[in-house]
Structure 1
């Protein structure tokens, strides 16, 4: 994604509260910021998850 809704400062405050991290086994935490940005995109657009752009 070329631009994010969250600034780096906002993400820095949220990141410690996100479960999972890249070193955890499985899919959880592979990119928490991208997941949060996807959720924000859904909220902003009102689109269903199936319409989520592939960039997310």
Structure 2
């Protein structure tokens, strides 16, 4: 069930190709990147400590680790730039 502030299917479909392939690990992630992104967005919107992220978004430690890893690797910056380019292109079409 999608909550009111979670990513929609369309928003998730736009983001997915912009994200780099997940790093290979010895085991698959228990949480999808969509869940983790929703958890990060929830935490930033509400302003609570990481440990208060609701469990439907993944474990708080997984959400925290994903956020930090993407910050270190420049993923957030690349996402913002790509989304701005897409928004500018859509504005030129209409």
Structure 2: tracts of 5 or more residues without a match:
58-94
Report the count of equivalent residues: 53
Structure 1: tracts of 5 or more residues without a match:
none
- SS of 1:14's partner is helix
The TM-score normalised by the length of structure 2 is 0.46
Q: Which has the larger helix fraction?
A: 2
What's the counterpart of residue 12 of structure 2? Answer: 11
CA RMSD in angstroms comes to 2.4
The structure having more radius of gyration, on CA atoms, is 2
Runs of 4+ in 1 over 6 A off after TM superposition: none
Worse-superposed segment, 12-21 or 32-41: 12-21
Task: Answer yes or no: is the 8 Å Cα contact 2:7–2:38 preserved in 1.
Answer: yes
The TM-score normalised by the length of structure 1 is 0.71
* Higher normalized contact order (CA 8 Å, seq sep 6+, divided by chain length): 1
Shift of 1:30: 4.5
- What CA distance in whole angstroms lies between the structure 2 residues aligned with 1:30 and 1:52? 14
